[in-house]
Each structure stands twice: as C-alpha cells, then as structure tokens.
A and B are shown apart, each in its own frame.
Chain A
Amino acid sequence: MSTHALTTKSAKRLAAVDRFLTFIRVFLVALIVVGLLAFIWQQVDADNPFARWRNPDARGLTGDQFKGLLISGLSQGSMYGLIALGYSMVYGVLGFINFAHGEVFMVGAMTGFIASEKFAANGMWEQNFILCLLLIVLLAVFFSTFTAVLMERIAYRPLRNSPRLIPLITSIGVSFFIQNFVLGLFGPASKSYPRLPEWLSKQRSILTFEIAGTRLLVLVVAAVSMAGLWYVVERTKTGKAMRAVAEDKEIASLMGIDVNRTIVTTFAVGGAMAGIGGILWGLMFRSVTHMTGFLPGVKAFTAAVVGGIGNLGGAMAGGISLGSAESIAPMVILEPLGVPGVSQLKDAVAFTVLVLVLLFKPSGLFGERLSAEDRA
C-alpha cells in the first residue's frame, strides 16, 4: 500500500516538471506561430488590424529584403557549419565538447590577417589575389591544424579515460589560455583585413538574387571544403578508420587501427575546416580580435547539436539552418510581435534555437551518430 502511495506521489511530482516543460514548449511554439502569422498578414494586407496588433509601424519585408536576409543567413551559416564539423567529429570520436574549437577558428582568422596584411603591404594582394588567397588559406589551415593537434596532445590525451566533464572543463581552460595568449602576442586592437579587389566584391545578380561577391566566395569555398571532407571521411582508408574509432575505440584497435593516430587525424581535419572558416570570416567581416572565436564557437556547437551531433552532413545543414534562423527570425517573428531593436537579439535567438531543439528533438534534426557508450 505504502509503496503504491509513494509511486503515485513521485509520479505526480515528476509530472509537475513535465507539465511545466510542456507549458514552455507550447508557449514557445505559440509565440513563433503568432509571430509568423502576424508577419504573413503584414505581407498580405498591411492595414489588417491583426497585422498591426502588436506593432503598428510594421511594414513587412520586400522580396529583396527577404532574399538579402536569406543570403546573409546562408553565408554566415555555412561558416558555422565549417566550425561545427570539428565539434561534431571530436564529439563523435571522443564524446566530449571541445570548447576550445572556437579558438582554433580564431587562430585561423588571425593567421589570415597577419599574412594578408603582409601581402597587402607589398602589393601582391592587389596584383595576384587568387594566389594570395590560396596562400593565406594554406597558412591558416596549417596553424589551425597545428593548434588543434597540439591541444589534443597536451591537454586531452592524458584525460582519455576520465569522466566526461573533466575534458570539457579542461577545454574551457584551453580556450581561455589560447584567447589570452593571442591577446598577449598580438595586442587587444581589432585587426582589419585588407579590402578585397573590386572585381570580386562587387554585387552580382544570380537567379534574381542580389549577392555580394564576398558572400558568393564564402558559399563556394564552404561547399568545396564540405565536398572534400565528405570524400576524406567516406571514401578514404583514414576516413574509414575515423568512422570505426567513433563507433568503438576498443574494437577498432583490435582491428589494427592506430587509435591515437586516428584521433589526431580527427583533430587535424576539424582544425583544417575551422581554419578555412576563419579565413572566410575574416574576408566577410574583415575584423578579427582575440575574442572572435568565442561566440561563433558556441553557435557552431549549437549548429552541431541542431544537425545531430556526430553527423557530418547534419553539422553543415545545422549550421545553415542556424545561420538562416538567426538572420531571419528576428525580422520575421520578433519584429511583428512588436519587439524593438531586434537585431540586438540575434545571439539570443541562436541560443533559443538550441533550447528549442533540445526540448523537441534532443538527437538533432538529422539524428545523432554516436557510439553506444557516448549516448548515455
């Protein structure tokens, strides 16, 4: 009898939290739906009272504005995707969040700045831009990879078998260290990349989309890198080893795979992607500081979770969805609800997306790929 009473009691208590969570879910969905409806109404009939219910000044968006938001979301998102690949791969193989991965990205952007500034100083940047671009990408990839591999060797390898929060805390320390080391080396001033040549940065019109050349470059480079990564992971022997290690380290080692080397390769590949992402960031936003890696890093992790951690295609898709959501949602959902200064809330929107995904589909939009032990 008493056990029965106990179970019903605890079941009731559990239900309280669950009811509260359901309430949060319903509330958030309702908010999104109302915002969207108000937005659609504005587009269809701007004088309708419902459209002006919360925000009498709302004008809605023109088609071009919407396309602009979409393009900026896509290009920003593809950079998140490039960083997210590193998070996803490391999580897949080692089962912990490498918090310092954002710093690897920052090292790439910083290297790109130093190299491109030197090129700009001797005129090569203007004369032979393609060669310069290739060189700075190579340099950035080299230094990012180096940073990633070094941090694995020094900080993470000794912690291979410790409880999963220990490497996470360590990576926070590594992130702090790299940020402040770079600050000490290069100083606190914001560094700006040299201007891109005119022929590249001018506006182009593709399929009725007005797109700046820089953004086009970002999209193309991101797509090419993604294809390269896909080839490495799915078609080469190294990639096979990486997938095997992600599945089960012990069995992989029994099959004659050098687990240590494979893990280093994983960090290296993730670092290379982050390096490319860093260059693209520098070309697009043109300014780099020692803190550049922090927010994009956290958002890229969000992207990896949105796409399903451990899932490489998912990481890229997650990055693009997150970038688009971050760029479009403030204008489409918050503005019609009468929230002023929506652009300030861009980052808050990105984190809300993370909470939403974890509330509704914790395994991500495209499904996690983790080994059994990491799923616990």
Chain B
Amino acid sequence: MNARAMTLPRSAVDQDWRHVLRWGLICGLALVGLCLVGMPVELDRRALIERHLSLGYLFVLLVPVAMGWVSSTLVALEGVENRRQGLYDLVTGFLVGLMGGGVLSLLMVALDAWNLRDPLVNWSPQLFRFLTYENGMGFGAAAWLATGAVLGLAGAALHVVPAVVRRTTGFVVFGLFFLSVLEAAISDLSEGFGLESLTDWLYAKKGGLTVTSTIVFGLVIAAASLATRGRIKAATDRYRDMEGVERQKASTILFVVIAVLCVVLPMFLGKIMNELLANVGIFLLLALGLNIVVGLAGLLDLGYVAFFAVGGYATAVLTSPNSPWFAPELHFGVSLVFVVLAAALTGLLIGAPVIRMRGDYLAIVTLGFGEIIRLLFMSDWLGPYFGGAQGITNIPGVDLGFATVKGTDPRSVFYLVLVFCALAIYTSWRLQASRLGRAWMAIREDEQVAEAMGINTVNAKLMAFVVGAVLASFSGAVLAAKVGSIFPTSFMILVSIIILVVVIVGGMGNIAGVLVGSFVLIGVLGGPKQPGLLQEFQNYKLLIYGVLLVFMMLKRPEGLVPSARRSRELHQDEFLQDAWLKGDKLDDEDAADDGASVVPAAAPVGDEGGEEE
C-alpha cells in the first residue's frame, strides 16, 4: 500500500519526504554504480547524435528520467477516489533528479580528492573528464545538478502531460534511438540499394546522426505518430477479430511478406550484417527449442546448452576429416540424421532421471548435466573421440551442389539457418495446438490436475525434452558448419542462461515473442561471444542481461510479447481479485489487506510494505 495514494497532499511542497529521500538516494546510487562499472566512459565512444549525444551520456541521462517517472507514479487504488496528478508530482520528480545530480557531483569531488584506482578499476581521470564535460569541477557540479533536476522533472512530467504528448515523445525518442542504433544496418542496406547519398546525409562521418537529420526525422516521426494515432491499435484489433477465410487470407499475406523480406533483404546486405543475422538465426533456433521446454511444458532446463553441444560435436565428428575417431567423412545432410538421433537419445538420457523431480530441482540437475557434458567433451578421457580441449577443427561447409555454405560466406549460412528456423517455427506452431502441446500446457499449469485428467505426464515431458533437444542440435550443427571448428569453451552454461533470457524477455510460450526476443537481444546486444549491433556493449551485455531478467520477472513476467494464456496464469491473483471486486461490494478491511503483508489494515504511514505491488 502506498501512502502517497492514500493521503491527499495539501500543497506541492508538502512532500512525503521519506519517499523523496529514498528515491533520490536510489537515483544517486544508480548513477554512481553506473559510473564505477565503467559503462559511461566506454560507451562514450559511440556517438548517437554527432558531437551532442553519445551512448554513454544517454545511459547516464536516462537514470534521472526513469527515477523521476517511477518516484512520481501514483499507485491507483480500487474503490478510493484517486487524486489527479499535477504540480505535486512534478516537485517530487524534480527533487529526486536534483538529489541524483547531487550524489553524482559528490562522486566527482571524491574522484578529484582521492585515488581509489587500486580496487576500483574505473576510478579514472577519464571518468572525471566525462563527468565534468571537460570543463572543471564547478561547471560539472552545476551542470549535473541542473540536468538531474530537469530530467527528473521531465520524467515526472510524463505522468502529467496529456496522453498524446506522452505518446508522441515516446515515438520520437525511441524512433531516433533506433535510427542511430541501427546505423550500421541502415548504411549497409542503403549501400546495397545504391543509396549512399541518403546515409551520407543521415549519418555523420564519425558516426551518429547529424543534427539536421535528427531534427528532420524527429519532426517526421512526430507527424507519423500523430497521424497513426489510434490506427495501429484499430488495425491489430481488426486482425484479431477476423475469422475464417478472411483471417486466413490476411495471415497468408502477412506470411508471404515476411518470407519475401527474409529471402530478399540479405541479398542487399553486406557481410557483417549477414553474419549478424546468421548469429541471430542460430540463437533463434535455440530459443525456439527452449521455448518448447520452458515456455510450453514449463520445465526449467538450465543445461539446454548440452543439446547444442551434442549437435555441434556430432556434426563435427561425422563430417570433419580431422575428427580423431570417425574416419569416413559424411555429407552434412547425411550426418544430420545421426545428429537428430544423438540429440534425441541425449534428450531421453537427461530427461528420464529428471522428469519426476520438483521444478527447481530439475533446473539445478539439468544445469549439472550441462556442465557434465561439457566437462566430458573437454576431458582427456574422451579426448580420443572428441579432441579434448583442442576440439575438432577443419569441419567442411555444407555442399549443396550449386553452392557451399560456409562461414566465409555468411549470407549462405543465413539462408541455411533460415530453413531450419522455418522448420522450427512450423513445428512449434503445429505442436502448440496439438494434443501434445495442450498436454504440455496443462502440465505447466498444474501437473497433478493434468495427470488426473488422463495425461501421461511422463511421456509428455520426455517428448518436450526430445523435441527441444533436436531443435538445439540443429543449431549446433549449423554452428559447426559455420565456424568450421568446435571447442568445449563454446558450450558454457552461460549460453543456456542467455537463451533463457531471450525466451523470457521475448515472452515465454509465444513464437512471436521468441522472435522479438532474439532480434532485440542477440541482434542488438549480441550473444555470448558474438557481437551485436552495439558492439560497445561487449563488456556490459551480461550485466544488462542480468538486469533485464530481474526487471522482467518483477514487472512483466509474461515478456514483451506475451502469450495470452501464460499471462493469465501469471496474473491469476489479479484476475481473481478483479472478478471479486466487480462481483462484490467493497469490504474495506479485506480490500486494504493484500493477503501477503502481515501489516494490519490501518498501518501507519510509510511502513515497510510500502513497495509491495
């Protein structure tokens, strides 16, 4: 229960000081943490708008905006008349931002006074220069106090301004952000189409949007946002409401457009972009497989990388002339049969002991299996078969007769991955509504009830493991053919966790969600070893993955593109409460107590339960 919502403030300066102080401190500490991790200085190298804004400054500036927004969020209560947001909230945001700027200025003073470089590697003169805008401490402190306060105010103002303004601002900011982030992709694509003059105008020589293009595109996006107001939602609603032949027709058109784009676009892209797309494809394939295991069947498999490794190693052993044990060199296509068999067998072997375990034990045991398999591939014991720490090299590409798919030609790899991804998407899509798919979802929701309804839970779970394993092994096979060599270090537990983040951020149990997740995370931030569009993130992407995972679990466990069913499951309490509120007259005492907190209903202001949702 939030005290802010309950008591009506008398005036704008009659703030809930504890609240302001808490959020101001959080804002300041977040800023200091960000600086000491070294993110701003390293990301300063990437310009977003030439000479005016770098990625580093953007990250620092985002913090006060976010904190201003969060600190002035009104917790709307059912059955109570909520006050309108206004000046009061603006003051809150302003003060929070001001405090954040203040703490940052203190950091600056400390940077100047002491040298703590010994344990803290980022306690550097570069950071000091970054913070002072290379203009001396007085200027820096004043600047951060002012920007902090203004940005906090801006964050809070988002609550106050009308929805149109909020929407348009959001569109402009995100549109410009993506335009500058996608710089490499856009220049590459326009080069393919012979439109170099466009990119020359759009982007500055040293990277980043030019000032004119920023202004022009800002206006264009704003106009587009105003023009499309309400239309996008109407269109998706119309699509959703379609039935029968009409819907089928619309879906077919949509599908054909996407398919044509997937086939045609890479032809106009350069090597780097195709490489990126191929990596996204490999991880998408893994994510689709994990989506079946985690998203549909609800089995949290943390050792999913094991199947990836089996696929990679099976392909390597069967096709490479350097494989230490298997002499004949099979063709990729022939070896695929054995890869599938090996993966399915591994799926059964790992699945059988774990399927009866509690969900969380299953997670840890599969993690153990993932490590065991990597350690076995790396050991001297199986070295004669799998090459030990040296791995297997010289894996040939895929000879298709008319072309050879290999790592030096990323476009061909992309097309190969595309075929597998299409297969995987089709399989997942058909499986979802099948008897087996429904059995998986039933098990995910309540295993005991599913069993009581006559579902053979053991078989269904084993099938989930096997299907997931086969999809991951395809991905491993493609990786082997692409890279041309396989090492145990490519199959760390890290890979499993990154795929898990992709699935969760995208939306568990939803194919579209997994697609979005892979493109956004792997494409922009990058995979465990593969760089994404923002190569500067290389050292920080794992940090960001961690934050994203926690944030999504706390605020939006159903993911960016949720599956309707899954989100109903996750928010069951809220649905029940809504139904109850509608069906029943309000009973003050019960409504005020959310069941979890042990605080009595008439708790004093600002109690510990203050942040509970």
Q: A interface vs B, CB < 8 Å? A: 10, 13-14, 17, 20-21, 24, 96-97, 114, 117, 155, 157-170, 172-181, 183-187, 253, 258-260, 298, 301-302, 305, 339-342, 344-345, 347-348, 351-352, 354-355, 358-359, 362, 376
Q: Are B554 and A13 in contact (CB under 8 A)?
A: no
With A170-B549, A172-B497, A177-B550 as known contacts, state yes or no: A341 contacts B300, CB within 8 Å. no
B-side binding surface: helix, strand, loop or mixed?
A: helix
Q: B interface vs A, CB < 8 Å? A: 33, 36-39, 118-122, 298, 300, 302, 348, 352-353, 355, 357-361, 363-365, 367-369, 371-372, 375-376, 378-381, 383, 456, 458-459, 462, 497, 500-501, 504, 539-540, 542-543, 545-550, 553-554, 557, 569-570, 573, 595-598, 608-609, 611-613
Q: Are A186 and B120 in contact (CB under 8 A)?
A: yes
Q: Are A96 and B360 in contact (CB under 8 A)?
A: yes
Q: Known pairs A177-B546, A340-B380; list 18 more (Cβ under 8 Å).
A: A13-B458, A157-B612, A158-B611, A162-B557, A166-B553, A166-B570, A169-B549, A173-B501, A173-B553, A184-B36, A184-B540, A185-B120, A186-B119, A259-B598, A302-B364, A344-B380, A352-B372, A362-B361
The residue on A at minimum CB distance from B364 is A301
Q: Are B298 and A165 in contact (CB under 8 A)?
A: yes
Contact of B380 among A169, A177, A183, A341 (CB under 8 A): A341
The distance in angstroms between the C-alpha atoms of A217 and B57, with both chains bound, is 49
Q: Are A21 and B540 in contact (CB under 8 A)?
A: no
Top 5 closest A-B pairs, CB basis?
Answer: A173-B549, A176-B546, A184-B37, A341-B380, A177-B546
Q: Are A355 and B368 in contact (CB under 8 A)?
A: yes
Q: Are B549 and A166 in contact (CB under 8 A)?
A: no
CB distance from A294 to the nearest CB of B (A): 8
The residue on B at minimum CB distance from A249 is B598
Q: Are B121 and A97 in contact (CB under 8 A)?
A: no
With A164-B360, A184-B38, A305-B361 as known contacts, state yes or no: A355 contacts B546, CB within 8 Å. no
Q: Are A114 and B119 in contact (CB under 8 A)?
A: yes
Contact of B364 among A162, A179, A354 (CB under 8 A): A354
Q: Are A358 and B613 in contact (CB under 8 A)?
A: no
CB distance from B466 to the nearest CB of A (A): 13
Contact of B360 among A165, A180, A352, A362 (CB under 8 A): A165
With A347-B375, A352-B372, A358-B357 as known contacts, state yes or no: A181 contacts B543, CB within 8 Å. yes
Q: Are A169 and B500 in contact (CB under 8 A)?
A: yes
The residue on B at minimum CB distance from A167 is B553
The residue on A at minimum CB distance from B42 is A184
Q: Are B369 and A351 in contact (CB under 8 A)?
A: yes
Q: Are A172 and B500 in contact (CB under 8 A)?
A: yes
CB distance from A360 to the nearest CB of B (A): 11
With A177-B546, A185-B37 as known contacts, state yes or no: A165 contacts B365, CB within 8 Å. no
> 28 A-B Cβ contacts within 8 A?
A17-B352, A17-B462, A20-B348, A20-B352, A114-B119, A117-B118, A117-B119, A157-B611, A157-B612, A159-B554, A161-B573, A161-B596, A165-B300, A168-B360, A168-B363, A173-B501, A173-B553, A176-B549, A181-B33, A181-B37, A184-B37, A187-B121, A302-B368, A341-B383, A342-B381, A345-B381, A348-B376, A355-B353
Q: Are B363 and A180 in contact (CB under 8 A)?
A: no
Q: Are A173 and B548 in contact (CB under 8 A)?
A: yes
Q: Are A162 and B570 in contact (CB under 8 A)?
A: yes
Contact of B36 among A14, A166, A172, A185 (CB under 8 A): A185
CB distance from B75 to the nearest CB of A (A): 13
Q: Are B352 and A345 in contact (CB under 8 A)?
A: no
CB distance from B364 to the nearest CB of A (A): 6
Contact of A166 among B121, B352, B557 (CB under 8 A): B557
The residue on A at minimum CB distance from B370 is A351
Contact of B542 among A97, A155, A176 (CB under 8 A): A176
The distance in angstroms between the C-alpha atoms of A362 and B298, with both chains bound, is 21
Contact of A155 among B371, B378, B550 (CB under 8 A): B550
The distance in angstroms between the C-alpha atoms of A117 and B364, with both chains bound, is 35
Q: Are A260 and B608 in contact (CB under 8 A)?
A: yes
Cβ–Cβ < 8 Å partners of B549 in chain A: 169-170, 172-173, 176
Cβ–Cβ < 8 Å partners of A355 in chain B: 353, 365, 368-369
Cβ–Cβ < 8 Å partners of A163 in chain B: 569-570
Cβ–Cβ < 8 Å partners of B363 in chain A: 97, 165, 168
